[in-house]
Chains A and B, each alone.
Chain A
């Protein structure tokens, strides 16, 4: 059950990265790629009806972490205190930027929220990458299971690299999403950006993979123990290669799947790097919080697993339906955004 919860949480976070990933990517790019009101509005409309639902994945994953591994939630969230508060402020800024930009037909009003949307998306992607980097690298967790995470501690070289990887990957993912969703001059630019960002993504994947073995020497442990674990690095590689194959305009509708595969591969590899730990202590490995010593009681794990799996099955059915309703190129008639 503990292992099942580990993978359920990983799946939730990966789904969040894939889904909110593209709207964070669109956000980052919108300021630079989309020029003029028509293109900007098309970019925002491409994610308008879905961004909120995408963010719910993070919220639900957070709730699941409380119930399954409460000590990890307690330690990680209080340790990352200031970083998480800044993340919250950015998420607030981002949400209202999307919702408010089209409420008033005034160019100054719109520029303000366009900038807010873009900058907050960029910083959210960076912060999430930095957080993941710190989780992989390990944290100074003491005997009581807690640590105090100042910015001086969190903004270390390895985590900054993973932060940049996150920015590059999500920007590429967002560009691919725009290729699927938009038309005309914005589409042409999205194709160009997607090609350029592929190189950045590939470079960062290589750099971070090498850095991981430097900063976490035992990173390969699970990969040498289980042959199946290689599926995730292979997915990463496959995503990159597909991205290369799908770089032409004829493949605009498929490009999105290449970055999706890449994200699944990267997230899975990251999870396998830490498994069975959730938060690794750099002080002493016996202080690490793993899927056994940080877990709820067996009954709590089982009950919540069933309750959430049943609910998520329903969510997947109607989310697919909602996404299908808005499939194809974004339409600019009426619309709220």
Chain B
């Protein structure tokens, strides 16, 4: 891989992973804001309005950062990956403007109204704008996932004799079979992260004996939603997203599982370290036959190992393998943690079990890690293809941009994003410190 290709890849990886930290929360939190707004509309209970307004402030900061860090990604399709744009813009590009047209306009227009407050726009319209924000954030994810799904599993195209691909069906691209469960898994992960953030902040208030009413509502919301979401993250969304990988991307599957040799009755590696030199796992713990069962529903099924493929078609095995195992490991922890919370809620001990509240507060970063790790599996595991089976990654870069230019702008992004991170943490910590009782932060 040439320096220029490496620089383009690093810049995209860095800017997309940083950007994604914000949509992880907004896509999920929008739903909870709409949920609290609806409860307020129905019950007229002011607690729900306070909660919705508080989370809208957190949402607003995340949304602003999501927008400003998201624009670079769209640009990078052209600036860094111009040959990819030229190759497939007419096909994968179908989804890109729709995100703006169908989702972002909705989201940004109604967020302004929601933040202006109930007094300014009236109760019903305020509720409606909350719904608009939630719907817009959920929808924006779909178009991006559908774009990505085309890179995972290209559909609705034919090869153009003059180079590149031509669209044959808009609907095939929009309703790509790969996109459905990928989207469900992504959004579910986002909702789960939002539940953890809500629970974490609630736990913090309970532990420090402040804003108790809000805190109890938050922890309860988090635990109930968390149990459901942690379970649906595994099944059906995770399982069926995995099924698409089994069906369409054998090399990714083998790298995820660290399976080097093609086997009948393949075992599932719980832990172990991949050794690509000897094509084996070091210190593994296996569950016999289980991978065959997961992949094909049959313990005797044959699963293809990496050795079946030429080494230049392997994705980076270590990164794919570890990211996958981190994601699944954390997912298991989420299920256990939330079930514990549900048990405590049932025993009426949830708000007084300080050990659990500590845990809930400290595990807030985990769903972020799991979400990012999941995308690393998806994107690194797709390598060396930019469009699976169709276009190799090095063939998609801009040849008129030198490695030196990309490294230079990468340093710029690193500096700016470091500054953004500090500001973000400072402002969110400040909002949490002020708590839900204060109606407006620092008015004047």
Interface residues of A (CB under 8 A from B): 37, 41, 48-50, 52-53, 55-56, 58-64, 66-67, 70-71, 73-82, 84-85, 88-89, 91-93, 95-96, 99-100, 102-105, 145-148, 296-297, 299-301, 303-304, 307-308, 311-312, 314-315, 318-319, 322, 325-326, 331, 333-336
C-alpha gap A73/B87 in the complex (Å): 11
Contact A296 to B442, CB < 8 A, known contacts A67-B96, A92-B416: no
Cβ of A144 to closest chain B Cβ, rounded Å: 8
C-alpha gap A312/B377 in the complex (Å): 35
User: Closest residue to B109 on the A side, CB-wise?
Assistant: A322
C-alpha gap A297/B430 in the complex (Å): 52
- On whether the beta carbons of B409 and A92 are closer than 8 Å, the reply is no
Cβ of A299 to closest chain B Cβ, rounded Å: 5
- On whether the beta carbons of A78 and B82 are closer than 8 Å, the reply is yes
C-alpha gap A209/B117 in the complex (Å): 47
Q: Cβ of B60: which chain A residues have Cβ within 8 Å of it?
A: 99, 336
Cβ of A83 to closest chain B Cβ, rounded Å: 10
User: Closest residue to B122 on the A side, CB-wise?
Assistant: A325
* A-B Cβ contacts below 8 A, count: 241
Cβ of A156 to closest chain B Cβ, rounded Å: 19
Cβ of B22 to closest chain A Cβ, rounded Å: 12
Q: Cβ of A56: which chain B residues have Cβ within 8 Å of it?
A: 100, 104-105, 108
Q: Cβ of B441: which chain A residues have Cβ within 8 Å of it?
A: 102-103
Cβ of B252 to closest chain A Cβ, rounded Å: 26
- On whether the beta carbons of B167 and A300 are closer than 8 Å, the reply is yes
Among A73, A78, A93, A148, the one with the most B-chain Cβ atoms within 10 Å of its Cβ is: A78
Contact A70 to B423, CB < 8 A, known contacts A56-B100, A104-B430, A303-B170: no
C-alpha gap A59/B85 in the complex (Å): 16
Contact A102 to B442, CB < 8 A, known contacts A73-B89, A77-B82, A91-B71: yes
Mostly, the B contact residues are helix
- On whether the beta carbons of B104 and A60 are closer than 8 Å, the reply is yes
- On whether the beta carbons of A99 and B61 are closer than 8 Å, the reply is yes
Contact A62 to B440, CB < 8 A, known contacts A319-B105, A335-B116: no
The contact of B78 among A41, A77, A296, by CB within 8 Å, is A77
Cβ of B396 to closest chain A Cβ, rounded Å: 10
C-alpha gap A322/B110 in the complex (Å): 8
Q: Cβ of B83: which chain A residues have Cβ within 8 Å of it?
A: 74
Q: Cβ of B115: which chain A residues have Cβ within 8 Å of it?
A: 49, 336
Among B60, B106, B160, the one with the most A-chain Cβ atoms within 10 Å of its Cβ is: B106
- On whether the beta carbons of B166 and A299 are closer than 8 Å, the reply is yes
Is B75 interfacial (CB-CB < 8 Å)?
yes
Is B77 interfacial (CB-CB < 8 Å)?
yes
Contact A311 to B166, CB < 8 A, known contacts A103-B442, A335-B116: no
Cβ of B23 to closest chain A Cβ, rounded Å: 14
Q: Cβ of B398: which chain A residues have Cβ within 8 Å of it?
A: 74, 78, 81, 146
27 A-B pairs whose Cβ atoms sit less than 8 Å apart in the complex: A49-B112, A50-B112, A52-B64, A56-B100, A56-B108, A59-B70, A60-B101, A67-B94, A71-B89, A77-B78, A78-B79, A85-B79, A96-B65, A99-B61, A146-B399, A299-B166, A300-B91, A300-B93, A303-B170, A304-B170, A312-B101, A322-B110, A322-B112, A325-B113, A334-B120, A335-B116, A335-B443
Q: Cβ of B399: which chain A residues have Cβ within 8 Å of it?
A: 146
In the A-B complex, the 8 residue pairs with the smallest Cβ-Cβ separation, listed nearest first, are A70-B89, A77-B78, A296-B90, A63-B97, A49-B112, A60-B100, A300-B90, A67-B93
Q: Cβ of B67: which chain A residues have Cβ within 8 Å of it?
A: 52, 55, 95
User: Closest residue to B431 on the A side, CB-wise?
Assistant: A103
Contacts of B116-173 to chain A: CB distance below 8 A: 116-117, 119-121, 125, 160, 166-168, 170
Is B98 interfacial (CB-CB < 8 Å)?
yes
- On whether the beta carbons of B442 and A304 are closer than 8 Å, the reply is no
Interface string of B402-444 (1 = CB under 8 A from A): 0001001100100010001001000100100000000111111
Q: Cβ of A58: which chain B residues have Cβ within 8 Å of it?
A: 71
C-alpha gap A77/B72 in the complex (Å): 11
User: Closest residue to A77 on the B side, CB-wise?
Assistant: B78
Q: Cβ of A84: which chain B residues have Cβ within 8 Å of it?
A: 75, 79
Mostly, the A contact residues are helix
- On whether the beta carbons of B101 and A308 are closer than 8 Å, the reply is yes
- On whether the beta carbons of A49 and B116 are closer than 8 Å, the reply is yes
- On whether the beta carbons of A88 and B71 are closer than 8 Å, the reply is yes
- On whether the beta carbons of A74 and B85 are closer than 8 Å, the reply is yes
Cβ of A103 to closest chain B Cβ, rounded Å: 5
- On whether the beta carbons of B89 and A66 are closer than 8 Å, the reply is yes
Interface string of B374-411 (1 = CB under 8 A from A): 00000000000000000000000011110001001100
C-alpha gap A78/B74 in the complex (Å): 12
The contact of B86 among A41, A70, A80, A304, by CB within 8 Å, is A70
The contact of B89 among A60, A74, A148, A303, by CB within 8 Å, is A74
- On whether the beta carbons of A77 and B79 are closer than 8 Å, the reply is yes
Is B26 interfacial (CB-CB < 8 Å)?
no
C-alpha gap A253/B375 in the complex (Å): 50
Q: Cβ of B160: which chain A residues have Cβ within 8 Å of it?
A: 297
Cβ of A136 to closest chain B Cβ, rounded Å: 20
Is B68 interfacial (CB-CB < 8 Å)?
yes
- On whether the beta carbons of B405 and A52 are closer than 8 Å, the reply is no
- On whether the beta carbons of A333 and B120 are closer than 8 Å, the reply is yes
Cβ of A158 to closest chain B Cβ, rounded Å: 22
Q: Cβ of B112: which chain A residues have Cβ within 8 Å of it?
A: 48-50, 52-53, 322, 326
C-alpha gap A60/B143 in the complex (Å): 13
User: Closest residue to B158 on the A side, CB-wise?
Assistant: A297
- On whether the beta carbons of A81 and B120 are closer than 8 Å, the reply is no
Contact A66 to B401, CB < 8 A, known contacts A91-B71, A96-B423: no
Contact A73 to B77, CB < 8 A, known contacts A102-B442, A146-B82, A335-B443: yes
Q: Cβ of B88: which chain A residues have Cβ within 8 Å of it?
A: 70
The contact of B427 among A70, A92, A103, by CB within 8 Å, is A103
Is B111 interfacial (CB-CB < 8 Å)?
yes
The contact of A67 among B97, B409, B444, by CB within 8 Å, is B97
Is B99 interfacial (CB-CB < 8 Å)?
yes
Is B80 interfacial (CB-CB < 8 Å)?
yes
Q: Cβ of B86: which chain A residues have Cβ within 8 Å of it?
A: 70-71, 73-75, 145
Contact A147 to B400, CB < 8 A, known contacts A311-B101, A322-B112: yes
C-alpha gap A220/B423 in the complex (Å): 51
C-alpha gap A70/B77 in the complex (Å): 10
- On whether the beta carbons of A53 and B409 are closer than 8 Å, the reply is no
Q: A52-B64, A62-B96 are in contact. List 8 more A-B contacts (CB 8 A).
A: A59-B70, A66-B77, A66-B93, A74-B83, A81-B405, A105-B443, A335-B116, A336-B440
The contact of B400 among A61, A79, A297, by CB within 8 Å, is A79
C-alpha gap A87/B38 in the complex (Å): 40
C-alpha gap A223/B438 in the complex (Å): 60
User: Closest residue to B56 on the A side, CB-wise?
Assistant: A336
Q: Cβ of A308: which chain B residues have Cβ within 8 Å of it?
A: 97-98, 101
Is B69 interfacial (CB-CB < 8 Å)?
yes
Q: Cβ of B125: which chain A residues have Cβ within 8 Å of it?
A: 325
